[in-house]
Structure 1
Amino acid sequence: MSKKTALVVGAVIAIIVIFALNDGKQQASGASATGCKVTVTADVLNARETADGNAKVVGKYLRDAQFDTLPGVQNGFRKVADAKWVAAEFTQPVAGSAC
């Protein structure tokens, strides 16, 4: 292996290690990519396709599950992802979260 190749491989490995260490610190501190992280307060919380209690169920969360949502509430629902909404009344923002 040439010196140039070894330097490139070493740099790539260093970047991966730095990224992994920073990602672990963010997750450990409770940081949220959206700024809003919630905990489920119901025994089972249905995730629905739209912000409507009659919409198709596309997933489920169990009590005490934590996940990111977009800040704010629309029609009584929090948006988790595209085509994935949960009833806001069964979630509690995590302390320090910007919900």
Structure 2
Amino acid sequence: MAGIPKRALIVLGLLIGVVLLTAFGGDRFGGDSEQASSAECRFTVTADMLNVRSGPELAAPVVDQLPEGEEVAASGETQGGFRKLDDERWASEEFLDAVSGSNCR
């Protein structure tokens, strides 16, 4: 019987498995994803005390304060000189320095 050798079938099966994992589940195994890249965007606070506001404007209420030197995760979204930290939390870009090696836009 002239067929495909068993070893070739095993190698082919492993290659197909790797391709499927990469295509459909890569973010679980260290692949790139939107969520992973946004988590890598980090900043260090440079002000003595940085007000975190509920919106991207000075008139927005202060909802938190961050001390100098604190490292904080942020999104790539900016508006009017403010950077979005997370839902309803914004801080002045003027007092945020990107952490070396972080993935920030």
TM range (shorter): 0.5 to 0.7
Cα gap change, 1:44 to 1:64, in 2 (>3 Å): same
Cα gap change, 1:96 to 1:72, in 2 (>3 Å): farther
Q: TM-score, normalised by structure 1?
A: 0.64
Runs of 4+, deviation exceeding 6 Å: none
For this pair of structures, how many residues does the alignment match? 69
Larger radius of gyration: 2
Query: For 2:94, what is the secondary structure of its paired residue?
Result: helix
Question: What letter corresponds to residue 49 of structure 1 in structure 2?
Answer: S
Q: Separation in 1 of the partners of 2:77 and 2:60?
A: 20
Q: CA RMSD in A?
A: 1.7
1:60 equivalent among 60, 65, 68:
65
Q: Which runs of 5+ in 1 are unaligned?
A: 1-30
1:19-74, Cα deviation, whole Å (9 max, x unpaired): xxxxxxxxxxxx97522100000000000000001110000000000010002422
Q: Which runs of 5+ in 2 are unaligned?
A: 1-35
Identity of matched residues, %: 39
Q: TM-score, normalised by structure 2?
A: 0.61
